[in-house]
Chain A
Amino acid sequence: MRFTARQLLPGAAALACTACNRVQSTLSWSGDQAAASGSIWNLMLWICVPVYVAVLVALALAMRRRESAADVDERAVGRGFTAWLALIVTLLSVLVVASFAVDRRLNRPAVAPLHVRITARQWWWDIQYLDPDVSKRFSTANELHLPVDRDTRIELASADVIHSFWVPSLSGKLDLIPGRTNALTLTPRKVGWYRGQCAEFCGLQHAHMALDVRVDDAAGFAAWRAHQLEAANPPATASATAGKRLFESGACAMCHAVAGTDAGGHNGPDLTHLASRRTIAAGTYPMDRDHLDRWIADPQRPKPGALMPAVPLDPRDRGAIDDYLMGLR
């Protein structure tokens, strides 16, 4: 099949633009681990592209018609071949050594790291912040906050099938395998929002298993962390109070936990500070009242197969629950 340049151009432009995106791109290196992989990528690019071009040029030259075999200088060809071989061996050796060095760099022990445990479930991320003081541990979901310029050691576990943790702007992929705990160190260097996603097919909604990552400076991170340790905000309005009662007495509390209330389920994400997050349902919808209402009314619409059922609720009751949840900042 043949394409014209005009047909190819938009695709090429789009492809090129992914490199400009800072939030989720393997070519935008915002952390040490991504930069390490990036450095070897660069090296390979600058070695392999010239070699490739040289091979193509040599091929083109070789396909030129020759006058006679007598024109060929055997010894010159032999010397050229040897030189070329030496060059290739040298370049490959450089790549091997560089690759080894980068691998060691990626696996250096973390220095005074923050400890986080991420358990992947179908199809959301269960994030637990660990602390030597057990009363300072807390859980959140689908949104990972990291301090800038500091190592974070992430333990990766899975509650069901194989998933893969991938925040391309910060590091490469690492699988979360049931029955095994992997560990990954992240050292972000630029403050901002990033996006990650599951990179190992894990079932029907693998495509809707995104992860928001926020990198904050030390003060911002400490403030966020202190806030997450607090119990849930009590309801502020009458409607929210009714919503809390519906939440605790109905199907919601069977699966979800809200710290400081009777709801203590682990089947679904911890909702203690739901309204402080940017997205819901692992990046499927933005976090706002309208989308929250749509999600609760029928989670199967955007995410068919998601383990959250469509709980039959009177629209007024659902509104009260929305009011309560919107207050859980």
Chain B
Amino acid sequence: MCSRFRNSLAAALACALAVLPACERERREYTGAPTSKAPPPRESTLQPGAPIASPADPVGAHYEDIAFHINEGGRLFRAFNCSGCHANGGGGIGPALMDADWRYGGRIEDIHATILEGRPNGMPSFRGKLTDAQAWQLAAYVRALSGNVRNDAEPSRREGMAATPPLDRLPKQPPRDGDPSAGTVPAQ
């Protein structure tokens, strides 16, 4: 049919445009999603003496980039009752996840470590109960709650009751370490 067109350049352009929607925006990984071999992330920004650089874990950035992983993280967030303590990001029994205050670090590798290892003031440890890929997916979703993933990978409005504004409309809130208002155990 292309041969019917007089102008072969226009024809080529039309065919290319027709084919473009078939290109994959991203690759979904059902198996073989990357897991991290990096050492556990530092929890403190302080280091004695001259600091050693701690580059971000590329595995984390991979999960933050892919809408499928973020969406799966959202599904697991409800399925594993994270929403029971953290609501839709606003918090309750657990702290808010949609703001910029992070007691134990707000980078994706910190959140990944928090989920797997737990934290002393009530965050349970899920090591052995989730696969590493699931923990990364959950961490990517938690990052999405504060707008810290690319905007076209952010989930948009929820199907259920509108609790928060759609996530892809929330402003990006880069994490600030150390929640000043809560989290420390009073002297015992």
Binding site for B on A (CB under 8 A): 249-251, 253-255, 265, 267, 298, 300-301, 304-306, 309-312
The answer to whether the Cβ of B80 comes within 8 Å of any Cβ in the partner chain is yes
Chain B stretch 2-40: residues in CB contact (< 8 A) with chain A:
28, 30-31
Tell me, in angstroms, the Cα distance from A170 to B134 when the chains sit together.
Answer: 40
Q: At the interface, yes or no: B130 with Cβ under 8 Å from chain A?
A: yes
Q: Is the CB of B31 within 8 A of A298?
A: yes
Indicate if the CB atoms of B130 and A305 lie closer than 8 Å.
Answer: no
Does A251 lie within 8 Å of B79, measured CB to CB? no
For the residues of B in contact with A, the DSSP-based class is: loop
- 6 closest A-B pairs by beta carbon, nearest first, are A300-B31, A309-B131, A304-B30, A305-B30, A300-B30, A267-B79
- Does the CB pair A251–B128 fall under 8 Å? yes
Residue pair B79, A312 in contact (C-beta under 8 Å): no
**A309 lies within 8 A of B79 (CB):** no
Give residues in B with beta carbon < 8 Å to A: 28, 30-31, 79-80, 128-131, 133-134
Least distance between B161 CB and chain A CB atoms (Å): 14
CB distance from B88 to the nearest CB of A (A): 19
Contact A250 B30 (CB under 8 A): no
Q: Measured between C-beta atoms, what is the minimum distance from B35 to chain A in Å? A: 9
Can you list 30 A-B pairs with a CB-CB distance of less than 8 A?
Answer: A249-B128, A249-B129, A250-B128, A251-B128, A251-B129, A251-B130, A251-B131, A253-B129, A254-B80, A254-B129, A254-B130, A255-B79, A265-B79, A267-B79, A298-B31, A300-B30, A300-B31, A301-B31, A304-B30, A304-B31, A305-B28, A305-B30, A306-B30, A309-B131, A309-B133, A309-B134, A310-B31, A310-B131, A311-B131, A312-B131
CA distance A249 to B128 in the complex (A): 8
B31's closest neighbor in chain A, by CB? A300
CA distance A3 to B9 in the complex (A): 39
| A159 shortest CB reach to chain B, Å | 11
Chain A hits for B129, CB < 8 A: 249-251, 253-254
**Which A residues touch B128, using CB under 8 A?**
249-251
* A298 to B31 CA separation, bound complex (whole angstroms): 9
**CA–CA, A265 to B78, complex, Å?**
12
**Cβ–Cβ < 8 Å partners of A267 in chain B:** 79
With a cutoff of 8 Å between Cβ atoms, the chain B residues found around residue A311 in the complex are 131
Q: Is the interface of A mostly helix, strand, loop or mixed?
A: loop
CB nearest neighbor in B for A204: B30
Identify the closest chain B residue to A265 (Cβ).
Answer: B79
A207 to B79 CA separation, bound complex (whole angstroms): 25
What separation, in Å, do the CA atoms of A305 and B30 have in the docked complex? 5
Chain A residues in 8 Å Cβ range of B130: 251, 254
CB-CB under 8 A from B80, the residues of chain A are 254
Docked complex Cα distance between A312 and B132 (Å)? 9
Question: Bound state CA distance, A249 and B130, in angstroms?
Answer: 11
Rounded to whole Å, the gap between the CB of B94 and the closest CB of chain A is 18
Known: A251-B131, A311-B131. 14 other contacts (CB 8 A): A249-B129, A250-B129, A251-B128, A251-B129, A253-B129, A254-B129, A254-B130, A267-B79, A298-B31, A300-B30, A304-B30, A305-B28, A309-B131, A309-B133
Shortest distance between the CB of B158 and any CB in chain A (Å) = 14
Whole-angstrom distance from the CB of B36 to the nearest CB of chain A?
A: 14
CB contacts (< 8 Å) of B134 on chain A: these are: 309
| Residue of B with least CB distance to A306 | B30
Which chain A residue shows the least CB distance to B134?
A309
Chain B residues with CB below 8 A from A304, complex form = 30-31
Q: How far is the CA of A267 from the CA of B76 in the complex (A)?
A: 9
- Min CB–CB distance A46 → chain B (angstroms): 44
Please name all residues of chain B whose beta carbon is closer than 8 Å to the beta carbon of A298 when the two chains form the complex: 31
Collect the chain B residues with CB atoms within 8 Å of residue A265's CB. 79
Closest to B80 in A: A254
Query: What is the chain B residue whose CB lies nearest that of A300?
Result: B31
Q: How distant is B126 from chain A, measured CB to nearest CB, in Å? A: 8
Chain B residues in 8 Å Cβ range of A251 = 128-131
Least Cβ–Cβ distance between A157 and chain B, in angstroms? 15
Q: Across the interface, which residues of B come within 8 angstroms of A255, CB to CB?
A: 79
